[in-house]
Structure 1
Amino acid sequence: MKTQQPTKAEHRRMEVIKDLGCLLCKLDMGDMRHYTPCDVHHVTDGFRRLGHAFTFGACPFVHHRAKVYGSVDGWGVEEKYGMTQRDMVRLQDRLVAESEDNTVGAKVRAAMSEG
């Protein structure tokens, strides 16, 4: 079955994820400000995607290795990070929300300082 096209909100979320970079590299570095270019990894249940809302940033090394093994969890990510893929989605959601808040906040502050 073909995956549905993302909604505008899901598309925006995936663009922000790409701007934020690889979530697993951030965890490895212990710094949520760390940036490694990333793909958007879709969480799966078996080999079926759960949808565009169930995504997090994974660099090409992580993302393509996951494809070889069938899922990120297929090669020990849960054991390494103590998080399930759904936990990673929740963390990614928080980072996306913070990024959006900072972006909107910056625009509001800039507009206020101009006028």
Structure 2
Amino acid sequence: MSLAELPNYEDRRSGVPEFDRTPPQDLIAEQSVLGGMLLSKDAIGEVVEIIRQRDFYRPAHELIFDVIIDLYGRGEPADAVTVSAELTKRGEIAKAGGAPYLHTLISA
């Protein structure tokens, strides 16, 4: 039996194999949201009402979002320096793209 013969292999609406479709994502939008959160605690308060960790496509962005929310929840500043320090403390700075990537988010 080939993959094409397996039930539910193709998207029923388009007839295109599911693995050929691009998942909905916008990495630039994700970067902009995280950058805004790193620049403004008011932005954090607004974003948490709309976006959840699972809404991010890139795992590094999920991780950064989680750290920002943790710091914010503890009443601590959540900027590139403090987020980098927290990621380093957790041993996850490399998974998040490194400290320079956090500064890249701010300019996104």
Q: TM-score scaled to structure 2, two decimals?
A: 0.30
Return the structure number with greater relative CO, CA threshold 8 A, min gap 6.
2
The structure whose residues are more often strand, as a share, is 1
Larger Rg: 2
Q: TM-score scaled to structure 1, two decimals?
A: 0.29
